[in-house]
A and B are shown apart, each in its own frame.
Chain A
Amino acid sequence: MSDTATAHHDDGHLSLNNDNKKLLMWLFLGSDCMFFGTLISTHLIYRKIYPESFDPTSLFSLELTSFSTFILLMSSFLMALAVSAMHKGELKSFRRNVLGVIFFGLIFLGCQVYEFAHFVHEGLTLSTNTFGSTFYMMTGTHGVHVAIGVFWLICMYFYSHTGKMDAHESAVDVEIAGLYWHFVDIVWIVIFTAVYLIEFI
């Protein structure tokens, strides 16, 4: 079976492949900075040139948004633990943490759906004014990112039960899913400050 040469050969492939996947994910995230940069700057530019057109302070509930920010930050924490668990090969701990991330992600999405429904009920729709257009598209795109992340992690959770997952092969897959999840989190950190908090100063 595997003589030393083969082991060496596969070792090369494994580490190289891990490097490739990680670099691909980081490049995607670098590119994603431009995506969210465009969305957030569109929002801020319209806020800047029409400060009087719409007052969101009566609409926004800082308590709710702070809660969902907190939830997302904690999900990021659990994700970091899940990646760590996978590196140690502790599959059970990995599952527990990933379930936590999924749960928190769903809470975040729930808050966002509630928030959108509430805003629409209060009369702010996509076509009401520029604020509605930019706000919904920006937070909506972020929400879609979260939803994709939740879907990805659910797939991983079920995959971990097939017995095909182990520390060596899957750690990097979990890690790049984690990178994606953390990125979604940092985008929200920016949105929370630049879109929500700033309106209340």
Chain B
Amino acid sequence: MSQTETATPAPKTSHAHQLHVLKPERSRLGLMRPDHSKSVFIDWLTTVDHKKIGIMYGAIALFFLFIGGIEALIIRTQLIVPENNLISAERYNQLFTMHGTTMIFLAVMPLNSAFFNFLIPLQIGARDVAFPRINALSLWSFVAGALVINFGWLLEALQMMGLFAASGPTAGMTDLAPSGGWFGYAPLSSKEYSGVGTDFWIMGLQILGVASLTASMNFIVTILNMRAPGMKMMRMPVFTWMSLVVAFLIIFAFPAITIALGQLMFDRTFGTNFFNVAGGGQPILWQHLFWIFGHPEVYILVLPAMGIISEVLPTFSKKPLFGYSIVIFSGAVIGFLGFAVWSHHMFTTGLGKVATAAFSLLTMAIAVPTGVKIFNWVGTIWGGRIRFTAPMIFSLGFVWMFMMGGFSGIMHAAAPADAQQQDSYFVIAHFHYVIMGGIFLALVSGIYYWVPKVFGKMWTGSLSTWVAVLIVVGLNVTFFPMHFLGLLGMPRRTHTYLEGFGWSTYNLVCTIGSYILAIGILLLLVDLIRCLRSGEPAGDDPWDARTLEWATTSPPQVYNFAKTPIIPARDALWSHKHGPEGKKITYEDDHGHGIHMPSNSWMPLIASIGFVPLGLGMTLKQAGVPYMGSLAIFGLFVITLGLALWAIEGPGGFHLHPEEDEA
């Protein structure tokens, strides 16, 4: 039996002078690992640190929030008056498709992911996630997917500037940006009715699926296996609990869309008959498969928001969360029921009486655990010593606005009512109240709450109040009139409308509201930049908070906790600050061998870069551009190469000695 050769010399040599083994070492491959001490740029590209990865997720998500917001503003500006001609109907289709896709997959999900990445290891007292390199792969493949999805916009821009024309070898490239709606219903997404944009959309979503799946499996393993001693499941912060539920939702919901997208791609590229009506395909199957993914996706978006609220409300009410175990249980129930209600998106397709009644009932049943949560939050602030700080204001806004979205959701659950509301602006009003009024407010609350921890800078001034007022007023002015528009019969995805339907005033108000909202979000970015540039040092625990992440420094050191904390109770830090003697956080003695840290690696980045030629190659091959099949194979080769080198390279690692560092 052979001896193992590990990449690290650490345990075999003396521990005394391994300080700053941050120097690059040779991996098992004989290649140098990236030197993160020399170039900040290389450090960030090759990092496996969950905190840096989280920050990058957040920055990219905010960028796409900005892009998606601009798309929304153009849509609203087009609808400001009847028979407006600002943009063509085709462009309008592209805009609402990309607005939906961008906001869901490139803004909200990665913003959630930013919080997952940054917070989960800190909240459970771990040094990092279970598989730091897989975490880096998730980030970079997300970036690759975002590039592929948005490649159509790039081509559209080039075409406008006269630098690109669909002629010669590229003659097959029509309809450059996706325009089939964010749920890409067949047969609208089939080859007859849509061009190369749909292929960008398909391949982009596939790659984003890889990112989400790998990240989620990683988080589940992290939460279940990497908890600090004493951090029992029922002592975990609620945000971590909700992340766990979300990660399970992702790994069981995404495969459905992956296969459905694969089938659609085969239809378009190889002429199969999955959704091709003439060949016997059933477009309804696409709807089912999409919503089998799509409905859990709604909870994938909203549960992290509920987790954030469950952290912020107790902190600023100076009370423990009311009914901790019930909040967690109802979160899990919401997640589980989320798999059993997908057909309520399809009531009007004629499912049959029994199925419609069953899905209607199950949908209404989801209101129960959701209502339980709302009551628990109200119970938390009831009688609390409330501080109206920025995070608290947004969280209170969430409770109120999310309930509004919930109410119209119950209305949809009744199938006869839904038959009236289907595909009207009423639906738009409903899900924007849930997403903007609910999820987005919670995410902003999370940003205000945790940025002092992430960057170690405290917010200055009272701009946040203006942000809150503008966003809440803006979203209500934008989306409340849409209820009436829907009831007056205005269908969604309408390029323009005639005068005299009674829709004009409401549309004008909506558009004005959307600009108020936009100003609010812009001020949020201004506030953020101001905080980062000139914020005072925040200190470890600026909010007098309750959970473990506030026990470490702000910003946290690369190793999170100098010594592994031993968790005495739920709300560990609160118990540490105010609890009895036996309920304080203690720390494990590491016997002087320091903290083991994983080495940086190029391989996740290289493997992810391969997704770009793979995605673009598959797309352009379908459009008949020559040599694109080879490009796709090249992409596949790069991915395989990256993964193979990754495996051979080994995890590596080095040891840190924080006490000496801090001295």
Contact = CB atoms under 8 A, between A and B. Distances in A.
Do A and B come into direct contact in the complex, CB within 8 Å? yes
Using C-beta atoms within 8 Å of the partner chain, give the interface range for chain B: 35 or more
B596 A13 contact: yes
Interface string B206-232: 000000010001101100111000000
A121 to B, nearest CB: 18
Nearest to B129: A20
Q: Chain B CB within 10 Å — which of A10, A13, A35, A133 has the most?
A: A133
Chain A, interface SS category: helix
Contacts of B644: 155
Contacts of B596: 13
A1 interface: yes
B255 A35 contact: yes
Contact of B1 (A34, A127, A133, A166): A166
B591 interface: yes
Contacts of A68: none
Chain B, interface SS category: helix
Contacts of B263: 42, 133, 137
B221 A127 contact: no
Given A13-B596, A164-B5, A168-B4, A50 B255 contact: no
Contact of A34 (B2, B131, B252, B285): B252
B271 A127 contact: yes
B130 A20 contact: yes
Contact of A133 (B2, B259, B274): B274
B593 A9 contact: yes
Nearest to B251: A31
Given A27-B220, A32-B255, A38-B260, A126 B270 contact: yes
A113 interface: no
Contacts of B224: 23
Contacts of A163: 2
A165 interface: yes
A164 B131 CA distance: 21
Interface in B272-297: 272-274, 279-282, 285, 289, 292
B182 interface: no
A134 to B, nearest CB: 7
Contacts of A56: none
Interface string A1-15: 110011001100100
B604 to A, nearest CB: 15
B472 to A, nearest CB: 38
A132 B280 CA distance: 11
Interface in B1-50: 1-5, 11-12, 28
A24 interface: yes
Contacts of B221: 20, 23-24, 27
Given A127-B270, A129-B279, A164 B4 contact: yes
Interface in A47-101: 49-50, 53, 89, 91
Given A31-B252, A168-B4, A137 B262 contact: yes
A166 B591 contact: no
Contacts of A91: 1
Given A34-B256, A35-B259, A27 B217 contact: yes
Contacts of B289: 38, 42
A77 to B, nearest CB: 25
A35 B258 contact: yes
Contacts of B292: 38
Given A9-B593, A126-B266, A137-B266, A38 B273 contact: no
A24 to B, nearest CB: 5
Contacts of B270: 126-127
A31 B280 CA distance: 29
A45 B285 CA distance: 9
14 contacts: A6-B593, A23-B224, A27-B221, A28-B217, A34-B252, A34-B254, A35-B255, A126-B270, A126-B272, A127-B271, A129-B280, A133-B272, A166-B3, A166-B4
Closest 7 CB pairs of A and B: A34-B255, A133-B272, A38-B259, A5-B591, A163-B2, A127-B271, A31-B251
